[in-house]
Amino acid sequence: MTTVETAVGTTKTMVLNMGPQHPSTHGVLRVLLELDGENVVTAVPDIGYLHTGIEKSCEDKTYSQAITLTDRMDYLNPLGNNLAYCLAVEKLLGLEVPKRAQHIRVMLVELQRISSHLVWLGTHAIDMGAMSVLLYCFREREEILKIFERFSGQRMMTSYIRIGGVALQPPAGWRAQVKRFLDMMPARINEYEALLTENRIWQGRLKGVGYLSPETLVAMSTTGPGLRASGVGYDNRKVFPYSSYEEFEFNVPTRTESDCYARYLVRVAEMRESLKIVRQAMDKITDDGPIKAEAPGIVPPQREKMKTEMEALIYHFKIFTEGFSPPPGEAFVAVESPRGELGCFIASDGSPKPLRVHFRSPSFINLQALPKMIEGQLIADTVACIGTIDIVLGEVDR
């Protein structure tokens, strides 16, 4: 507690605990706010409430078993986490994934991006006092989750992307279902924009709030929509394409205002770009073809082969008991998650279990910039800033 000199005399600051149980902290984030009236003097984020030691647990599992843990980090982007992890293992192995599987991965990950942005938009709108948008967003998200359920059997923790490809063949009738969604969605995004973009309260709460210069954001290692809203068009899908993103035509939306409103506009524009990618991916996915790489001993053999070929049965048994051993070395892969650069670093010592698995989680690193955004601002803006950083605490704490 410190004393502050003001025009009318000396005042004392007060320390306020925001969170860890607070609806606008999106999970269990605690921010220690030192307040001078309504103004934030200092802000210290306190995290770790959801730390479950996922990176440590990965070291005690075989490479394939660890996939299910990755789902549970960023629970709004499980497919993206699967993808980052599998790409890193595949890089470590030098494994080439069939094009068809790559396109399926791209399509699902982009649908996931839309669903994640929908949750962001809905919850952020409710933080700012616009109740109805949440209901609309969750209505559309439900359609995406139904698609995931058809593909993987799971709505959220899909574990659908596997080392060497994807888990299952796409289900019958998937094209019609995805197409229905694509036809419906543009009009729905227009609906959200009609409710929010020109809304005076929305603009009043977001415009000019939480400004950081692009130089500061890069120095603080911020990535994702937060960085792109400041004019830096850094997107891993374009800069370091993976999983055949180089075949797709899409734009990287940027703004230059670098405030909460610009971050909102960037995310909405990204949803539209993702729809474009999903449409292209749908055309690229062939009706039949392999969904897994031909890699005996790494990718589980087909069920029919196990019944007719002895080697296949042996491989099946070995993969699920002992696992496989990538050669010693390290690999780092970064993918563009809805929140920014999601990196996966794996070090192998040549044993069937990873020596080290590390996730460069965008939520964790983007949250670092929060004090810089809100210090000197109003306490109400804290809520807007936490919202537009778009943190998922499961990923912050891992």
Partner 1 sequence: MTPLDTANANAVVEQLCAWNPQAVAQVVEYRGETTIVVPRELLVATAQQCKDNPALNFNLLSDATCVDRYPLEPRFELNYQLVSIPRRERIRLRTSVSAQHGVVDSLVSVWPGANWLEREIFDLFGVRFEGHPDLRRILLPDGFEGAPLRRDFPTEGKR
In the complex, the residues that contact partner 1 under the rule CB under 8 A are 47-48, 51, 53, 55-57, 59-60, 87, 90-92, 94, 218-223, 232, 234, 239-242, 329-334, 341, 343, 345, 347, 355-356, 358, 360, 364-365, 367-368, 397-398
Q: Which is nearer to partner 1, 47 or 125 (CB)?
A: 47
Q: Which is nearer to partner 1, 166 or 185 (CB)?
A: 166
Closest to 76 measured CA to CA, from 346, 397, 390, 365: 390
The nearest distance, CB 358 to partner 1, in angstroms, is 4
What token pair was written down for 174? Answer: 């998937």
Q: Which is nearer to partner 1, 253 or 301 (CB)?
A: 253
Residues in the chain: 398
Taking each helix axis from N to C end, the angle separating 99-127 and 174-196, rounded to the nearest 10 degrees, works out to 30
The nearest distance, CB 363 to partner 1, in angstroms, is 11
Specify whether the CB–CB gap between 152 and 71 falls below 8 A. no
The nearest distance, CB 261 to partner 1, in angstroms, is 24
What token pair was written down for 21? Answer: 């149980």
Q: Which is nearer to partner 1, 92 or 275 (CB)?
A: 92
Q: Which is nearer to partner 1, 75 or 136 (CB)?
A: 75
The nearest distance, CB 93 to partner 1, in angstroms, is 9
Q: Which is nearer to partner 1, 77 or 236 (CB)?
A: 236
How far apart are the C-alpha atoms of 252 and 28, rounded to whole Å?
A: 31
The nearest distance, CB 345 to partner 1, in angstroms, is 6
The nearest distance, CB 171 to partner 1, in angstroms, is 27
The nearest distance, CB 225 to partner 1, in angstroms, is 15
Q: Which is nearer to partner 1, 202 or 324 (CB)?
A: 324
